[in-house]
Structure 1
Amino acid sequence: MSEILIVENDLNIQQSLQRCLNHANFNTICCNHKNIIQNLEHNKIDAIILDITPRQENDFELCVKIREIVKIPLIITSINSEVSHKVNAFEKGADDYLTKPYDFLELVARIKALLRRIEPQEMIFGFLHIDAKKRIVKLHNELLELTNTEFDILLFLIENRLQPISRDRIAHTINAIHEDTGLRSIDTHIRNLRNKLGDSAKDSKYIQSVWGVGYKFCL
């Protein structure tokens, strides 16, 4: 489970952000600007959300210090929407920039996107091997012939593993699934994918059905 360091000036936003990230299956640590480096040195942090107010322009130098220690995703949040302010943030080492007020769900999506970029392209779950870059799946070292849609669904479930993903979210994320027929066809794609994985709904080794929600990758 990824560890996110939250550096947020507004206590109400900090608490709401922490609840949202915890709900999205992230671990969180909250600190003030003075304790960032200390937390990076004593904790395994996977991404940082750093809030900067107009009165804290010098805190951009924190980005430089952070980059000297770690190369993890760094997201700047600020009420300042000026382009020059954003450019300064990126030049100092930020990977992303969100102007307040922002939607927490968008922030979660951006964090996941940044974390995917640093995830290893090859993933191993027991006897199941996935090469995301080459789009190859092997089970017991035997190549599985998955359709593009089946591969995309499997990879999407893995990227969001251990949390249930709704059929509606799968339908709107996988481009090959048309929205009008997506919810009806997803079960068919899952069933075909399970057959190729030697999996089943009753005895789930990889893809588990979550009643009333959808599916999740369970390794």
Structure 2
Amino acid sequence: MNKKVLLIEDDLQMQKFIIEYLKDYGFDCIAFDQPKDAIENFKENDYSIIILDLMLPEMDGFDLFKKLKQIKNTPIIISSARGDIGNKIHGFELGADDYLAKPYEPRELVLRIEHILKKSFNKTINIGDFVIDKENRTVFMDNYPIDFTKIEFEIFLFLIENQNKISSREQILNATSLDINTKNRTIDMHISNIRFKIGDDSKNPKYIKSVWGIGYKFVG
């Protein structure tokens, strides 16, 4: 399992502490305090997870979050003193995998990282009528292959991995390689195509339910 961590934190004392603590658990942590430096490094390197502070110089953490997701869909844990419910909701709406409000026990950070990586490391998902091979980007339904496009696969995988949770259109957008300016109706069109390919009736869905005014939920 790749245990390379990108830490973006402008508190250098906190940065050093996290690096040393994660090292004790076998993680290779590379840290930056400047958002632009972090972005350039992220373009050239692969990380298993990102730990992102929100209060950064020159760029708000949420704006940096969006830029990172546009480059690669790497899991992100937000680590911030901005622990109010409004910031947490916004973080999860953008597609954050977790949100830790400072101060927190460093052991909790390790446990949450390990939980996310374990979920990401499992390359095959068996759920209901479906078998999803994440590495080869294939979906089988009752042993028959489903011919999804790249975007359809990304959306379907995101819904599957968030089974029984309501996923907003914004969350779906940020979890896929769709352009950040994609309209809601385009996402709805992709959902419609997915439903057609898996034989799901939008009026009486077995797998993907619409949640009025919010988004969708996989329940199969």
Measured against the shorter chain, the TM-score band is 0.5 to 0.7
TM-aligned CA distance change 1:122 to 1:213, over 3 Å:
same
Q: Which amino acid aligns with 1:218?
A: V
Distance (Å, rounded) in 2 between the aligned partners of 1:152 and 1:113: 22
Q: Which amino acid aligns with 2:132?
A: I
CA contact (8 A) 2:160 2:218 kept: yes
1:85 equivalent among 17, 37, 40: 17
Correspondence list, 1:40-189, <5 A? 81-93=13-25, 101-103=81-83, 105=88, 109-110=97-98, 115-119=115-119, 120-175=122-177, 177-189=178-190
CA contact (8 A) 2:97 2:116 kept: no
Distance (Å, rounded) in 1 between the aligned partners of 2:114 and 2:161: 12
TM-score, normalised by the number of residues in structure 2: 0.55
Q: Which residue of 2 aligns with 1:33?
A: none
Q: CA RMSD in A?
A: 2.9
Distance (Å, rounded) in 2 between the aligned partners of 1:200 and 1:81: 55
TM-aligned CA distance change 1:141 to 1:114, over 3 Å:
same
Corresponding residue pairs, total: 140
- Unpaired runs of 5+ residues, structure 2, are 1-10, 28-49, 54-78, 100-111
> Taking CA–CA contacts closer than 8 Å with sequence separation of 6 or more, which of the two structures ends up with the larger relative contact order?
2
TM-aligned CA distance change 1:163 to 1:147, over 3 Å:
same
Q: Which has the larger radius of gyration?
A: 1
CA contact (8 A) 1:208 1:218 kept: yes
How many Å apart are 1:121 and its aligned residue? 1.6
How many Å apart are 1:92 and its aligned residue? 1.8
Q: Percent of counterpart pairs with the same letter?
A: 30
How many Å apart are 1:173 and its aligned residue? 2.7
* SS at 1:115 equivalent: helix
TM-score, normalised by the number of residues in structure 1: 0.55
